[in-house]
Amino acid sequence: MKKTTLIISVLFLVIVLIFAFSCKSTGQTQKKEKTVAVDKSKPGIIEAESYVKQEKGGVEKTSGRVDASKDIILSWNNAGHKLEWKFYIAADGDYKVVFRYCHNRSGAAYRQMLIDGQSPGKDFEKIKLVPTGGWSKDANDWSNFVIPSAGGSPAMVNLKAGEHTLTITNLGGDGQDGAANFDSIAFLPKDVDPATVLGKAAK
């Protein structure tokens, strides 16, 4: 009787171990990665406050800034502070990139941009954001800044239709931190005026 009980116990233990190993191998016990819903209502348009991830810092969201589309982000100050967004492109094509930002620092702030984890080109490795005259607290200080190529024309990015990931890193600033407020980011066809999509700019 004791021998039978021992055999049953051993068999039960073996079955439990086999089941546990099977679950681990198939990922049944692992947590599923959280999916982020991408806003497809405005293809190519990213509200800055809709970021899905950040590293090495913490931005703040605020409302009520003059001529902002919705909320904005601020306190994007420190070099190395990285933000990530998900966005949607409706059709294959070449797009210019527009940063709607403002700041009143004494020098430029710098950003680096990746799409789907890769650099879209040299023009996006160190993007210079010059002062706009204010932080849009009392007046419209926004710049609809089209990232330029070395020749001065818009730097174009080729994108396939579908969902993409945008990553922008603060590279610091001239003599200070790289602070800048952001309202939105857009991927637009070359001939589209950013003001008609993002709102009027100060200059």
Average pLDDT, consecutive stretches of 10 residues, N- to C-terminus, the chain (203 residues): 52 50 40 58 96 97 96 96 98 98 96 98 98 97 98 97 98 93 98 97 86
What local confidence, expressed as pLDDT, does residue 31 receive? 35
Same domain membership, residue 71 and residue 113: yes
What local confidence, expressed as pLDDT, does residue 15 receive? 56
What local confidence, expressed as pLDDT, does residue 38 receive? 81
Same domain membership, residue 97 and residue 178: yes
What local confidence, expressed as pLDDT, does residue 100 receive? 98
Closest by CA to 193, choosing from 108, 100, 129, 128, is 100
Give the number of domains in the chain.
Answer: 2
* Residue 14 β-bridge partners: none
Closest by CA to 169, choosing from 46, 55, 71, is 55
Q: For residue 11, give the amino acid letter.
A: L
> How far out from the chain centre does Cα 167 lie?
4
What local confidence, expressed as pLDDT, does residue 25 receive? 40
What local confidence, expressed as pLDDT, does residue 176 receive? 81
Domain limits at 186?
45-198
Closest by CA to 109, choosing from 181, 61, 58, 59, is 181
Q: How far apart are CA 144 and CA 45, in angstroms?
A: 13
Same domain membership, residue 165 and residue 121: yes
What local confidence, expressed as pLDDT, does residue 203 receive? 67
Q: How far apart are CA 156 and CA 168, in angstroms?
A: 17
CA dist 72 → 11, 76, 152, 194 (Å): 62, 11, 28, 17
Within-domain flag for 40: no
Within-domain flag for 203: no
Same domain membership, residue 25 and residue 50: no
What local confidence, expressed as pLDDT, does residue 82 receive? 98
Same domain membership, residue 115 and residue 183: yes
HSE toward the beta carbon, residue 28, CA cutoff 13 A: 8
HSE toward the beta carbon, residue 158, CA cutoff 13 A: 1
Q: How far apart are CA 49 and CA 185, in angstroms?
A: 10
Same domain membership, residue 109 and residue 16: no
Same domain membership, residue 4 and residue 66: no
The two tokens of residue 145 are: 């800044």
Same domain membership, residue 25 and residue 116: no
